[in-house]
Structure 1
Amino acid sequence: MKPEIQNISLSSASMDVIVKVNDSLTINVRLPISAAQYENMTVAQIRDAATQHAKNQHRD
């Protein structure tokens, strides 16, 4: 199963993204991406950025 975006919420300076990684894992991530930057991103880019950000936050 490929991770899929469940929800995106925008504010002036950030984006909150909920990504369903698999049946037992859903991640909530706040990305420092403005609404203006968001307009130029594809769904795949947002999904990948959220997934990578979550991985970076949980490294040992």
Structure 2
Amino acid sequence: MSITREQDDLIRVCLNSGRFASTSKVVRAALRLIERDETREPGLPLCMAPAMQLQDRV
């Protein structure tokens, strides 16, 4: 995974704040926000379609 210097700085701020214990937890929180925001939209974005299909099978 490649990120910009600004994104790396943001991750470090999140870690230094004590809110997150690891980089992976910051990334997971960001992914949950993307999922939440995209599922609120009337049309399902293409990047979410495979995940939603898997969820429907469970």
Q: TM-score, normalised by structure 2?
A: 0.39
Q: Return the structure number with greater relative CO, CA threshold 8 A, min gap 6.
A: 1
TM-score, normalising length from structure 1?
Answer: 0.38
Higher Cα Rg, which structure: 2
Higher helix share: 2
